[in-house]
Amino acid sequence: MDLNEYDEQKLINTGGALSLIMLIDKIRDAEGISALSGLPKDYMEELHAELPPHIGKLLSDVITVLLKRINVPDNEIYDVTGKIHEREVQKMFAWADNYSVKETRRIAREEGLNEGGAAKALAIAKNMLKRDRPIEEIIEDTGLTRAEVENLRESD
């Protein structure tokens, strides 16, 4: 079946879980996900009412593949697919409004750098303590607080 022959409205009019799977399969980037959050309420309610558990599992798997394909973080994938298992299909794509994979990646990268930077600062402080450097110098060089440096000193 060539999905290019079907526009979004034709798939919505078809109804059912298969039409949603086909709509999902047409998405190629993060911006395409926001279209899913705008699906008609009656379409989502009908899908919710008719969704048997085994199709819910299939739908969950398809959505997982789609979201992994565009690099959505695993915790967000779990939140979306959890809506299927909780039988809250109509809420499943609400998160997609104003969602940006790039922004999510930037935040994750920044958090990773901050965590890595903190670990590096602690390692530097430990080395400075071993060389009997003054606490004020350690605070200035690492950005750690006095309490953090003193805790390091006590833990050695």
What's the pLDDT tens digit per position in 4-44? 788 888 888 888 888 888 887 777 766 677 677 778 888 88
Q: Where are the domains of the chain?
A: 3-98, 104-155
State the pLDDT at residue 91: 63
Q: What's the pTM value of the predicted model, to 2 decimals?
A: 0.49
CB atoms within 10 A of CB 59: 21
User: Rounded to the nearest 10 degrees, what angle do helices 41-50 and 16-25 cross at?
Assistant: 120
State the pLDDT at residue 54: 81
Tokens of 6: 């079907």
Tokens of 57: 């599992």
Q: What is the CA radius of gyration of the chain?
A: 24
* Helix or strand holding residue 34 (H, E): helix 30-37
Among residues 52, 57, 24, 42, the alpha carbon closest in space to that of 90 is found at: 42
Q: How far apart are alpha carbons 68 and 139 in whole angstroms?
A: 42
State the pLDDT at residue 109: 58
Among residues 144, 109, 137, the alpha carbon closest in space to that of 123 is found at: 144
Mean pLDDT of 88-111: 62
